[in-house]
Structure 1
Amino acid sequence: MARCRKQPKRFDQINVIPFIDIMLVLLVMVLTTATFIKQGVIPVELPQAKASTKEDLKKEINIYVNSKGEMFFDKEKVDTKELEAKLSQIDKKQTVVLRSDKESRFQDFVTVMDILKRLKHEQLYIVTKE
């Protein structure tokens, strides 16, 4: 009886799944640490210009709605018409911060949001507590 000798198994392909797993883990690590890196850490000395204008924009506009439904535009009490008039005078790129009391009516919040939407303000932040 002649015995057939088994040929050793040839590997024509490389298993890349472990390699992909390692690369995905590294990618996740890079992306999570990259969000904590402070922007602008490279020191740059900016050139000077003689004919420059400085924009006088406030950092942010604060709108408050208290538990009684009273609205305040940067600590000045306003009604909805006055609020709309004041918001229409500021730049659309200006940051608006809305602080609404948790006991206030939802309708007051919706009213302020409706005014901001109508005036096409896009830089809106709503402040909440953790």
Structure 2
Amino acid sequence: MKQALSIEQMKHLQEFGLDTSDASMTWMLYPYEEDKQPKLSLREWNTFKEPFRIQHCIPAFTLLDVLELLPKEIKTGTDNYWLTMSHDSEKWYICYSEFDYYKEFRSHSLIDAAYDMLCWCIEEEYVKVGEDE
């Protein structure tokens, strides 16, 4: 089961201008001694201090981190849509819905569906990034 967003997904969020400094986890190469073959591992972000973080760590959001960033409600004109999650026989889906779906993403992994929703919310400016935060 996928515990955190991938390095590529985190870099994409950083390209949007999203502050990732409050991520729960970090990707790092370990061990970082020259004579040993490093392996990528997932660790708790708060256990590493600057400047080590900058040199060796890439922040990684967990599912809870992503859900905390998503708006719980979206208003469009006179309609209100609420964040909901569910699972059918094959995939997870996360959507904003009232009686009808406003926007929906499906994936075998709930964290990937939530990531796709977060990207959409940033693009649609439902989640503010950079100087707008």
Same fold (TM over 0.5): no
Bigger relative CO (Cα 8 Å, ≥ 6 apart): 2
1 or 2, which has the higher strand percentage?
2
Structure label with greater radius of gyration: 1
TM-score calculated relative to the size of structure 2:
0.25
